[in-house]
Amino acid sequence: MKKNNYKDYAAMSRAAADIVVATVKAKPNAVLGLPTGSTPIGMYAELVKDYKAGKVDFSEVTTFNLDEYIGLDTKHEQSYRRFMQEQLFDHINIKPSNTHIPSGTAKDLNKAAKEFEDLLKKSGGVDLFVLGIGTNGHIGFNEPAASMPAYTHVVGLAEETIKVNADKFFAGDMKAVPKTAVSMGLATIMKANKIILLSNGESKNDAIAKIDSQVLTLDCPATVLHMHRDVTLLIS
Ligand code: F6R
């Protein structure tokens, strides 16, 4: 595992965008794994700039997002589909049909999760996965637990995640935050060829310290990334 420290959020976001652009240049039909949340917003803004400057072409790229809240319509202002449209997809030349986000509204969520996992497998797998990290060490919505499903699944959000996301995205209203989501599993994530994890700010220090300790524990799901051969932490 490599770790790069950046002087500020802007520098980290630029470095992350450079890695995405290099991946797409090397393989125009690359498959990208993508996160939502506050951390990747700067990276997405840099990617939009790069696209508008003619530095990168997303026309053959396919994307798979980590997760989606259950019960929010895709048009809801906090749905992850809407987030991705607004932060990235609406501003670049990616084919809408090549952008995949787990369904949080399917009648049969388990069946939809399985279909999502199968589609990802059929796509040939993720070339580059970009991750964020929760204050409790979650990646995707794989929350600290004694055990968890390996692949895309329905999951309950941890109290800490509900609180953090309420403060950041739901005007502090914990009741408004969906309590369940569909998330890729740790095994889904670990199948990627290359992984970068972005972490910004002191609230993530504990989780990063647990990764640094090189002890594997599902109490901090991100520690499993040590078992992957090509992971870089980008820290600001
Ligand atoms: C988002 C996701 C989450 C976030 C994490 C950090 O798709 O899967 O794991 O990456 O909660 O969120 P922010 O960036 O808001 O601190």
- The whole-number average pLDDT for the span 190-214 is 98
Average pLDDT over the chain reads: 98
Measuring CA to CA, how many Å separate 167 from each of 29, 95, 142, 175, 177?
A: 37, 33, 20, 11, 10
The whole-number pLDDT of residue 124 equals: 96
Q: Which residue's alpha carbon is at the smallest distance from atom 2 of ligand 1?
A: 140
Q: How confident is the model at residue 87 (pLDDT cuts 50, 70, 90)?
A: very high
What distance in angstroms lies between residue 164's CA and the mean position of ligand 1's atoms?
10
Is the distance from the beta carbon of residue 66 to the nearest atom of ligand 1 less than 6 Å?
A: yes
Burial of 59 (0-12, 13-18, 19+ CB in 10 A): exposed
Rg (CA), the chain: 16
Q: How confident is the model at residue 149 (pLDDT cuts 50, 70, 90)?
A: very high
Measuring CA to CA, how many Å separate 1 from each of 27, 104, 221?
A: 23, 33, 15
pLDDT > 90 in the chain, percent: 100
- The whole-number average pLDDT for the span 20-43 is 98
Is the distance from the beta carbon of residue 200 to the nearest atom of ligand 1 less than 6 Å?
A: no
Is the distance from the beta carbon of residue 67 to the nearest atom of ligand 1 less than 6 Å?
A: yes
The whole-number pLDDT of residue 218 equals: 97
Instruction: Give the helix/strand (H/E) hosting 211.
Output: helix 205-212
pLDDT tens digit sequence for 153-193? 999 999 999 999 999 999 999 999 999 999 999 999 999 99
Q: Which residues pair with 20 in a beta bridge?
A: none
Is the distance from the beta carbon of residue 139 to the nearest atom of ligand 1 less than 6 Å?
A: yes
What distance in angstroms lies between residue 132's CA and the mean position of ligand 1's atoms?
5
Question: Are 84 and 36 in contact, with CB atoms under 8 Å apart?
Answer: yes
In a 3-state reduction of DSSP, which class is residue 198? strand
CA atoms within 13 A on the CB side of 135: 14
What distance in angstroms lies between residue 208's CA and the mean position of ligand 1's atoms?
14
The whole-number pLDDT of residue 215 equals: 98
Catalytically annotated residues: 67, 136, 138, 143
Is the distance from the beta carbon of residue 38 to the nearest atom of ligand 1 less than 6 Å?
A: yes
